[in-house]
Structure 1
Amino acid sequence: MPAFEHAPNITELLREHARTRPDQEAVTLVRDLDRADGATTLTYQRLDAEARRVGAWLQERFPAGERILLLYPVGVDFVVGFFGCLYAGMIAVPAPLPGQYPHQRRRVQAIARDAGVRAVFTDSTHVAAVTEWAGAEGLDAVPVLATDVAGEGDPGAWRMPPTPRDTLLLLQYTSGSTGEPKGVMVSHHNLLHNVASFQRALGFTDRTRFGGWIPLYHDMGLMAQLLPALFLGSACVLMTPNAFVMRPHLWLRMIDKHDIGYSAAPNFAFELCRRRVSDAQLAGLDLSRWEFAANGSEPVQASTLRAFAERFAAAGFRESALCPCYGMAEATVFVSGRAHRAPVVRRVAAELLERHEYRPATDGQQARELVSCGVPEGYDVRVVDPTTREPLRPDRIGEIWLRGDSVSRGYWNNPVATAANFGAVTADGDAGYLRTGDLGLVHEGEVYVTGRIKEMLIAHGRNLYPQDIEHEVRAQHPELATRFGAVFTVSPPDEEESVVVTHEVKGRFDTEAFRQLASRIKVSVSREFGIRVGGVVLLKPGSVQRTTSGKIQRAAMRRLFLANALPALHEELDAQVLQARQSQPGEPPPGLGAMRGPGEEEFVG
């Protein structure tokens, strides 16, 4: 049993670490790997003192339970602000910095208003921009504090508030792939239970050093990387997402130099590294101590896992370090995973998969690869027909339902969405489940995720998963590699659905080259999936809309397409797709328009 699992609350757990290991490194921000002064570190004693200082500032002004918006770049100041909220009994509301694009600024405004925040925390570098944003969005009555400014708050004035384990400490905002942001209510108990389940599933210990570049407003960065390290009394080493996106090899160098055993990232990051890290950058890397390379937050691709392991074997990376995981904010973060083994990949019959049946592919049969996301830990899992709510027999694909102490109590101030997703009851009366909205199955005790219910494509009477098509066109066309795409269907009234492929493209092309690429994409999809593509839209990098957790917003992309609001470099649309656009003039999703989308910038913050 993890030593921290039954701590009274997270505040007392961190205070205990400050007493028993005061001078031990807690969190480090790396700015420059090559300079002796290129990092900032907080010890457990210093983190505790800073959290008490910020907590005292809050206690002087607000009653316990108020919501505090955290708008920071990746760094130690976020960690201080977050724990300052916990120490004061407040509810932290992490969000990305407002950014320069209107949709980014409006998203943060929507979070602030939904949560009813009483103060905004940031750092001295960004306080002017955040204050300007707050005024422009009608939040000028909400105080903005740069928590890294000396003299704000007296740590000696702090008092421990009553904090039972069911006390809310966090609103983790998620919009999924569609819809407005919803604040998942996370308690001390949820987090302690979830990190303990995560530790049991993977096997990391207090000797495992954690680190990575995922933003701390992201559930993977906060609850599946920073907090496990601090709960264990270990250390977490951070670098900025911008540094990773610009120079992916720096992530791997940081893992080597700082002796990191656990680092997590979405699938695209592993793909980016294996394509962009040069032989010269690979030389001298030692990745043999990277024991837990967690891959999650977006569909895990078997081809990426194989290629990454092969590419970095020369640096001592072991295939058994790869840990495909499944999780979601509504279940705190972690649901399933397994470590210390090569990834388990099943080749399944593509035709049966379309009928929601799992069966191994035979020789010569068209196949799809499904990656196991490991064994669920700390949950009851049912696979249920999403329409009838009938539990399904083994190896049938349905909606994944979860029950356990990591499951949140619901969405903040949103009883309708809470009732729709939490406390679900199966047709045979089994109650208390979270409806994940994910399609998948449990095979031999392991979770396989096949897609999202709302994003399933129905084309020519067949059920297809959009991420399979997106992955296949990237794999076959180098011009699309490492970029993002969104596949969806449209139709005129009373007509069959037509498939539209939108995808970012890298490089410079003339009209003829674009035309040939679009033609090759159509041929690839027809050959691999047996369906006709009615439209191809090639986009500049950064155009595909994604949530802050990295999920493709396919419904938003479809609405932008119908509104003719995508920044297209090249379009090839057949008559039926053109008719669909003309007959269903869509309105851009709220806060979106003809603009550059977030793309990787969602991770850059």
Structure 2
Amino acid sequence: MVDLPHATDAAAVIREHALTTPERTAVILVDDVERTDGDTRWSYAQLDAEARKIGSWLRARYPVGTRVLLLYPTGFDFAAAYVGCLYAGVAAVPAPLPGRYRHEQARVTGIARNAAVSAALTDAENLPEVQAWVDGEGLTGTRVLATDSAGLADPGESWTPEELDQQSLAMLQYTSGSTGDPKGVTLTHGNLLHNVDSQRRAFAMGAGTRLGGWIPHYHDMGLLGQILPALLLGGTCVLMRSSAFLKRPHHWLQVIDKYGIHLSAAPNFAYELCCSRVSDEQLAGLDLSRWRVAVNGSEPIDTAVLDAFAKRFAPAGLRDDVLCPCYGMAESTVFVSGVAFRKAVVTTVDVDRLRENRFVPAESGADLVGCGVPSDCDLLIVDPGTGEPLQPGGIGEIWLRGPSIGTAYWGDTPATERAFVQGGYLRTGDLGTLFDGELYVTGRLAETVTVYGHHLYPQDIERRLREHHPELGSVGAAFTVPLARSGAEPEDVLVVTHEVTGRPAEDVLRRLADGIKETVDREFGIPVGGVALLRRGAVRRTTSGKIQRVAMRGLFLDGELSPMYADYGQPVTDALGAWRTSRSARDR
């Protein structure tokens, strides 16, 4: 096996696999897992041939380090374009297709402008849409190419990838934008090689290992946690479309079964969805005994979901040590911590001490999931205000340092200076602690709810409400808004927005809103200033399923939620009026 930490660059490793094991399957695309002919496959030789065409075209036109936007649906064309960028020494910028909705297009436009891309690569099917988006957004100078129909010349076997090193820029991985605008993390070839090697050792992977699932390729968990590890290790990546999973969650599990997948990753909500929507008949047809690592990450991990999933799919051969809570982020390439082949470590902590940012084990209270032992990076738990390390048991901001950590946000010096601090540490913006060597992540600094001196995590409020009110859907967002009071400092008040199942009558919604306020007051001891009950799909989420509470707060303040039912107290109504007046003044 290639010694990844000491390889010159990622392109050289993939090229080596193409030369030494050309017939080995690199990528499998599953169109319909229920059909015997429902997939197509590319060998390493095929992937290399297509990547060399794209790499040759790019290198003839753009210097090393040029940013190239990749806009593809799930499939081979993205894999070829990504590897082609590595071969040419240009920086790949994976992003979702612009889509139909304005907020989706705005995200991609922001990425393209921030990265100052020179070209946008796509496939023939999406070429008209991408070209129209480029023209409509005025992205002058951005050349659009459909790599599957452009008749790219074969450069010949004598053509070799650009000579690079571990310090060479490999790509810009944009953050999910769960707490703000997406930022492009600069990742080098060294970052990619080191992080994949960390995953290899953590999850016992090697040549021939199969990874895959439904996570989009423009998300770090999909690309850097599944596709790239397969290609760098000489394994196989099995891809299915996200829409196929969302329509039929059992298809994900069928793919894992049929293709003998060793590792597949997903956010917490995906495991919850499988528990609720996979029927007994579908379960009876599954054999999950070969699934060894089920990564759960990217959003808060619910112990109840871990337990429910393990119990639900045990009859299908799922082992009790398969579920693997992990911690990671785009700024760390993807993976920070996680321990495979053991049952999830859960610690019950005192709720009152937790609200005081103290981690105190107790016989009863809140159950928190351990996310493994960070082994390939330096990790500090610090006071987010002072940057001083906390004593054991203190909950503070997680700081990271190591060879997998990116060095900057592209084109955003202020954000870089805030996040990448002295000593080479990254301020993650996540809150957590180390207990018995295990990392526990408790929430996001930007999302912490503070009302009348109470420090709460919004996901705890949302989860408790769903436990007491089954009429609620699976997604909600709790946040605070400022109330300006004359002669006093502004105070914050809690607002709860939540999706509702079905279309209940107004009197049912009114009683539900009253129940939400009563539950929060009883369970957490704080009043609710406003409740907005929403239709399914109205709560904004990232591509990986993270709830965008900061974005929801902005939509609430701007009056753009269109709730099915709203119950706002007078202070919240006054605050909304003041906010919109000040916004109008700013706009003028």
- TM class, shorter-chain normalised? over 0.9
> Structure 1, residues 445-498: CA drift from partner, whole Å, max 9, x if none?
111011111211111211001111112222333333433434334423345422
**Contact 1:174–1:547 (CA<8 Å) still a contact in 2?**
no
**1:12-42 superposed Cα distances (whole Å, 9 cap, x missing partner):** 1011111121111101110011333321211
- Look up the match of 1:369: 367
User: Which residue identity lines up with residue 222 of structure 2 in the other structure?
Assistant: G
Corresponding residue to 1:566 among 556, 561, 564:
561
CA distance in 1, matches of 2:153, 2:290: 41
Residues of 1 paired with 2:435 and 2:555: CA distance? 38
Equivalent-residue separation in structure 2 for 1:189 and 1:549 (angstroms): 25
Q: Distance in 2 between matches of 1:517 and 1:208?
A: 49
Deviations 1:247-272 (A, max 9, x none): 11100111111111110000000001
Q: What's the offset of the Cα at 1:207?
A: 4.0
Tell me whether 1:443 sits opposite 2:435 in the alignment.
yes
Name the amino acid aligned to 1:169.
A
**What is aligned with 1:236?**
237
The answer for the alignment partner of 1:412 in structure 2 is 410
Which residue pairs with 1:343 in the alignment?
Answer: 344
Distance 1:115 1:465, change over 3 A: same
Q: Which amino acid is 1:507 matched to?
A: G
Distance 1:87 1:301, change over 3 A: same
- Report if the CA contact (8 A) 2:127-2:146 is conserved: yes
| Structure 2: stretches of 5+ with no match in the other structure | none
Go from structure 1 to structure 2 and tell me whether the alpha carbon gap of 1:51 and 1:300 turns closer, same or farther (over 3 Å shift): same
Partner residue in 1 for 2:116? 116
CA distance in 1, matches of 2:127, 2:478: 36
> Which secondary structure does the structure 1 equivalent of 2:64 belong to?
coil
TM-score (norm 1): 0.93
Q: CA deviation at 1:111?
A: 0.7
Aligned to 2:474, the other structure's residue is in SS state coil
Q: Is the 8 A contact 2:287 2:316 kept in 1?
A: yes
Name which of 459, 462, 481 aligns with 1:467.
459
Instruction: Say whether 1:543 aligns with 2:544.
Output: no
Paired letter, 1:252: L
Q: Which amino acid aligns with 1:57?
A: W
Q: Which has the higher mean CA deviation after the structures are superposed, 487-496 or 23-32?
A: 487-496
Query: 2: distance between equivalents of 1:584 and 1:50?
Result: 53
Structure 2 CA distance for partners of 1:418 and 1:513, relative to 1, 3 Å? same
| Secondary structure of the structure 1 residue equivalent to 2:580 | coil
Matches within 5 A, 1:328-339: 328-339=329-340
Report what 1:528 is aligned to.
523
Query: Quick one: distance in 2 between partners of 1:160 and 1:529?
Result: 59
Q: Judge conservation of contact 2:168–2:189 (CA < 8 Å) in 1.
A: yes
Q: Distance in 2 between matches of 1:246 and 1:286?
A: 21
Matched with 1:596 is none
Give the deviation of 1:360 after TM superposition.
1.2
> Is 1:360 the equivalent of 2:355?
no
Q: State how far apart, in whole Å, the 2-side matches of 1:451 and 1:577 are.
A: 25
Post-superposition shift, 1:149?
1.5
Matched, 1:515 2:510: yes
Q: Which of 136-145 and 115-124 deviates more?
A: 136-145
Aligned partner of 1:58 in structure 2 is 58
Pairing 1:391–2:386 present: no
Deviation at 1:339, TM superposition (A): 0.8
RMSD, matched Cα: 1.8
In structure 2, distance between residues paired with 1:582 and 1:361: 45
- CA distance in 1 between counterparts of 2:307 and 2:270 reads 14
- 2:447 pairs with 1:452: no
Following the alignment from structure 2 to structure 1, what is the Cα–Cα distance between the partners of residues 287 and 581? 51
How far off is 1:209 after superposition? 1.1
- Conserved 8 A contact 2:267-2:544: no
Structure 1, residues 339-397: CA drift from partner, whole Å, max 9, x if none?
1111111111111011111111235xxx2111100011210111111111111111111
Aligned twin of 1:593: none
**Which amino acid counterpart does residue 367 of structure 2 have in structure 1?**
E
Question: What pairs up with 1:154-173 in 2 under 5 angstroms?
Answer: 154-156=154-156, 158-173=159-174
Q: Partner of 2:469 in structure 1?
A: 477
Superposition TM-score, scaled by structure 2 size: 0.95
The 2-side partners of 1:379 and 1:526 are apart by 41
- SS of the residue corresponding to residue 509 of structure 2 reads helix
2:279 corresponds to? 278
- Using the TM superposition, give the Cα deviation of residue 150 of structure 1 relative to its aligned residue in structure 2, in angstroms: 5.8
In structure 1, the partner of 2:86 is 86
Superimposed CA distance per residue, residues 194-251 of structure 1 (whole angstroms, 9 cap, x where no aligned partner): 1111222232333431010000000000001111111111101000000101111100
Displacement of 1:586: 7.4
Taking the aligned partners of 2:195 and 2:519, their CA distance within structure 1 comes to 42
> Could you say what secondary structure the match of 2:113 adopts?
helix
Which residue among 426, 429, 443 is the counterpart of 1:434?
A: 426
Q: How many residue pairs were aligned? A: 580
CA distance in 1, matches of 2:217, 2:576: 39
> Are the equivalent residues in 1 in contact too, given 2:370–2:440 (CA < 8 A)?
yes
Percent same amino acid at aligned positions?
53
For 2:292, the aligned partner's letter is: E
In the TM superposition, residue 588 of structure 1 has moved relative to its aligned partner by 8.7
Q: Any idea what SS the aligned residue of 1:517 has?
A: helix
Moved more, 122-131 or 155-164: 155-164
